[in-house]
Amino acid sequence: MKKEIEGIVDISEKKLVKRVATATGQLKLSKPSIDAINGNKVKKGNVIEASTIAAIQAVKETPRIIPHCHPIPLEGCNVDWEISDTVLHCTVTVTANYKTGIEMEAITGVCAGLLCALDMVKSYEKDNYGQYPDSEISQVKIISKYKSE
């Protein structure tokens, strides 16, 4: 049986329009991890700064990570962080004037930002067996998308 697999979707006939997408997610951490982040005491460096850079890099590299995503000329990327007692929240908003959506860029940025944060604090998260029983990335979702007409 022969199967035809479509390559990149042809968007050449679509018009350029303003697009904005926002995604969010959270990383559940231990209180010692949160305290280390807040006190800028993490051995690997400033978690928020490094994770922001990771999120921005991921936004820009999304077409290299997700095969069917188009390379998009991005015009803006904002990364916001909120820290509570045991949760690190990341929200990424991406802006472009282009022919196709940028939701995947926003959600990829969130995931990379949270993964970077976890990597930086994993020494605080390990239990006596070298496991991470309480660390959890969750609630990753696209919370809004805008497309001008």
Which of the residues are catalytic? Answer: 119
What is the Cα–Cα distance from 22 to 107, expressed in whole angstroms?
8
C-alpha to C-alpha distance for 94 and 55, rounded to whole angstroms: 11
C-alpha atoms less than 13 angstroms from C-alpha of 96 in its C-beta half-sphere = 21
Which residues of 29-104 form beta strands (DSSP E)? 74-83, 87-98
